Copies of this chain bind each other. A is one copy, B any other.
Amino acid sequence: MDFTLSEKTREIADRLTAFMDEHVLPAEAVYHRHMASAADRWTIPPIMEELKEKARAAGLWNLWLPESDLGAGLTNLEYAPLCEIMGRSPIGAEVFNCNAPDTGNMEVLVRYGTPAQKERWLTPLLEGRIRSAFCMTEPEVASSDATNVRCSIREDGDDLVIDGRKWWASGAMDPRCEIFIVMGKTDPTAETHRQQSMVLVPRATPGVRLVRAMEVFGGDDAPHGHAEIVFENVRVPKANMLLGPGRGFEIAQGRLGPGRIHHCMRLVGCAQRALETACRRAAERVAFGRPLAEQGSVREEIARSVCEITQARLLTLAAADEMDRKGNKAARDMIAMIKIVAPSMAQTVIDRAIQIHGAMGVSQDTFLAEAWKYARTIRIADGPDAVHLMSLGRQTLRRHAGRSA
C-alpha cells in the first residue's frame, strides 16, 4: 500500500493546479458576467474557447481516457487527483475537454463506435470542436430502471425511425452540441436486457424538437442546459446504430462506471474548495465580538468536513484503483459506494460552507450555490442513491450470508 501520488501524477497535478489558479479561477467572473448580460442565454462565453486553446497548448487535454492512445495514457487512479483539481471550478472540466456528458459519450464511441462513426463524431469531440448529449431519461417512467425505456427505434428500409420523448439531456441546449446518443427500444419482445439499442442522432435531424430547458432549482444551467426533447418520426441511417441492435443496455452499463467516478472526483474537488472558502470566510467575519473561526461550532463543522472529504477522496481513489485492476464490472460495489458517498458528502460540506457564508452563500457571489446544485443533482443522476444502496446492500448480504464468523 502507498498513499502518495506517483511522480507522473504529481507533475501533471502541479501544472494543472497552476493552470487553474492562473487561468481558470480568474475567468469565472468573466464567464458569469457574459452569461448575466447575454441576450441569448444559449451562447458560449468567448473566454471558454480561449481557455480551451491554452489548455490544449499546455498538454492538459483529454486527460480522462484510460486504456486508449487517444487520451493522455493515464489510469483511473492517476486521473482521479487531476479530475478533483478540475472539479474545483464549475467551468473547470470543460477547459480540459474532460467534462460530462462528452467524456462518457466519447468513451462510448471509442469502445463501441465503427471507424466511420469515430471519424465523423469522435474526432471533433476529442478536439473540443463540437459537443454531444446523451438521451436516456424519459419523463413518463422511472429511468433509474433502464428497462423502463419507452422511446421506440424501429427499422424501416435502410433507416432507423425514432419516436419518443426524452428529458434531462444535459448539454443539448449548448449551441455547439451536434450529436445525440439516443437510447430506445428496438425489440420489446426480446429478453429484458436485450430490448434496448443506442443510436447516433444528429441534432439537426428533422423531427428532433427541443421542447424546453429543464430548470434545476430555478436556474437553467445555461449555456449547456438540460433539454426536454421530442423525437417524432426521426430518421437516421442504420449505420448510426451503436454496436448492434439489443446492445443498448450493455453500452449503458459500460458507460456509467467511468461517468460516475468522474462526477465523484469532481465533487471531492468542489467540496474541498467549499471548505477552503468557508475557512477564509470564517477567518474574516466577525460576529458577537469574535471571528467565526474562533467559535466552537464553526470549528466543529470545519473538522467534520475535513474528515468527510478526506474519507470520500480515499474511497474514490480506491475505487479508481479497483477499476484499473479488476475492470469496471468487478469494481461495481466500489463504484456504488462512491456514488452513494461522494454526492451526499459534497452536498453536506457545501451546505455547511453556505451556512458559514450567511446570505452570501446562497447568492451568485460565490461558487457555492452552483456547486451545491451539482452535488444535489448527482444524487439523482446516473442512478439515484436508493438504487445504489439497494444494490450494494444486496451484494453485501449475499457475500456474508453463508459464512460463519
Contact = CB atoms under 8 A, between A and B. Distances in A.
Contacts of A386: 295, 297-298, 300, 355
Contacts of A373: 217-218, 362
A295 B293 contact: no
Interface string A269-309: 00001011101101101111000110111111111101100
Interface stretch (A60-68, A100-108, A255-263, A363-371): A363-371
Interface in A150-201: 167-168
Contact of A279 (B359, B363, B391, B401): B401
A139 interface: yes
Contacts of A340: 303-304, 307
A312 interface: yes
A287 B405 contact: no
Given A219-B218, A363-B214, A322 B3 contact: yes
A5 interface: yes
Given A276-B400, A315-B311, A361-B380, A385 B219 contact: no
Nearest to A333: B306
Interface in A1-42: 1-6, 9, 25
B283 A310 contact: no
Nearest to A369: B217
Given A217-B219, A287-B142, A369-B217, A276 B355 contact: no
A241 interface: no
A285 to B, nearest CB: 5
B1 A218 contact: no
A341 interface: yes
A402 B275 CA distance: 13
A394 to B, nearest CB: 6
A276 B321 contact: no
Given A218-B370, A297-B386, A355-B384, A306 B396 contact: yes
Contact of A300 (B25, B297, B360): B297
Contacts of A214: 359, 363-364
A264 B380 CA distance: 28
Contacts of A288: 145
Contact of A317 (B1, B277, B280): B1
A403 interface: yes
Nearest to A288: B145
Contacts of A377: 359, 362
Contact of A358 (B143, B300, B341): B143
A392 B300 CA distance: 8
Contacts of A295: 296, 386
A215 interface: yes
B218 A390 contact: no
A1 B321 contact: yes
Given A1-B6, A3-B318, A380-B355, A218 B364 contact: yes
Contacts of A9: 1
Contact of A303 (B3, B143, B393): B393
A268 interface: no
Question: 9 closest A-B pairs (Cβ-Cβ)?
Answer: A218-B219, A296-B296, A299-B393, A279-B400, A303-B393, A283-B401, A311-B311, A142-B287, A314-B314
29 contacts: A1-B77, A3-B317, A3-B318, A3-B322, A25-B405, A142-B358, A145-B288, A217-B218, A273-B405, A275-B400, A280-B404, A282-B397, A283-B401, A293-B397, A297-B390, A299-B393, A300-B300, A302-B397, A303-B389, A303-B390, A306-B333, A306-B393, A306-B396, A307-B340, A307-B392, A311-B314, A311-B315, A314-B318, A355-B384
